[in-house]
A and B are shown apart, each in its own frame.
Chain A
């Protein structure tokens, strides 16, 4: 019997949706933490019942929740994210300097290798790790102490570290994405980091080819080809065949290469999905038609998939964490919109 579980974070709370019978029927649990924004909810790949949720609210700040029983019961764990060392400045929107300041947790990525280890990507951008299932957090400060960090500048959502990807074949290799600094890689389990933005272009900056300053929206890889990375950038869909050392554009025939989300098919490392959005000023799909675009050749050639999706007057957006694949064959592709549909 095929079991699928969807973990869904929304502005109004979290939902856990289970199917025990091959995706034909679903049981909805939620809303959990009603009235709180759930920036991320994620389960351990080593224990599907161990789930973390980043619970945020503009009034009361950040709470982190953990469940060992698939969301039936929850307990608050540490929400203490203290930057290492003296506070340092990064660039603010207007070019002035702003001291690094914790705002919220954007990403919770349980380790692929150790059940009690979990990474947190936060705003202002930094990566933290817990080795006790969220009871305490320590910063992997080599990232924020990179020589370029003083020039990092927030995107519209803040200076957020929104993507954490571990190489499934190499526990020392970690990738992160930061808006609007770029992509970074560590090959020593997070101690040292380097920008991996060669080939990215930022038409919105005076120097298109800067080392950092790129608004990376999302990164993805397939477990069988971990050296191949896919990226949805602010504009441009990109690919790297050498673990991020060099990037090239694969936007091809997409109607717009602006977007937030990108995902790789669970069963085929060359099948990639994106959901184009018209532009950075008009956050809805081109022609107001909600279409998933799939490339079955690793990019460049894309085909729209629209059956079952609204094809007129759709004005929602699909944000970076809201597109994913299950582990069935063929896999299910799931996405959520800012207008509330799954």
Chain B
């Protein structure tokens, strides 16, 4: 199980309050996390990774147990970044536009 924190806009879109707890099957990777989110919440399809290029949207950052993993290849294992029994993945929207 992992804990996932989504930006407010995406929580509103998916009608989620608070953090998500999801089971990820197989290797823990960014692709697996995003895919699991999109299966569970289809309205979030394409909002985190660009659906055409599968690249991270420019104003989104990823953190695994507090460490910035934004620039990791999305299919690479996150094992070495995990510190807790129930890892926490933060998906953050950049503060921009002020």
Binding site for B on A (CB under 8 A): 33-36, 57-63, 75-76, 79-80, 82, 101-102
Contact = CB atoms under 8 A, between A and B. Distances in A.
B17 to A, nearest CB: 16
A335 to B, nearest CB: 27
B46 A80 contact: yes
Contacts of B59: 58-59
Contact of A61 (B43, B57, B94, B97): B57
A88 B22 CA distance: 40
A195 to B, nearest CB: 27
B49 to A, nearest CB: 9
B9 A60 contact: yes
Contacts of A58: 59, 97
B13 A63 contact: yes
Interface in B34-61: 42-43, 45-48, 50-52, 57, 59-60
A82 B52 contact: yes
30 contacts: A33-B13, A35-B9, A36-B9, A57-B9, A58-B59, A58-B97, A59-B7, A59-B93, A59-B94, A59-B96, A60-B13, A60-B47, A60-B60, A60-B93, A61-B46, A61-B50, A61-B51, A61-B57, A62-B46, A63-B43, A63-B46, A75-B43, A76-B13, A76-B43, A76-B45, A79-B45, A80-B46, A82-B52, A101-B52, A102-B52
A205 B10 CA distance: 43
Contact of A59 (B9, B46, B51): B9
Nearest to A57: B9
Contacts of B96: 59
The 8 closest A-B pairs by CB, nearest first: A76-B43, A60-B47, A59-B59, A59-B93, A79-B46, A61-B46, A35-B9, A61-B47
Contacts of B52: 82, 101-102
Contacts of A57: 9
Contact of A63 (B47, B57, B60, B94): B47
The CB with the most chain A CB atoms within 10 A, among B12, B42, B47, B50, is that of B47
Interface in B55-89: 57, 59-60
B84 to A, nearest CB: 27
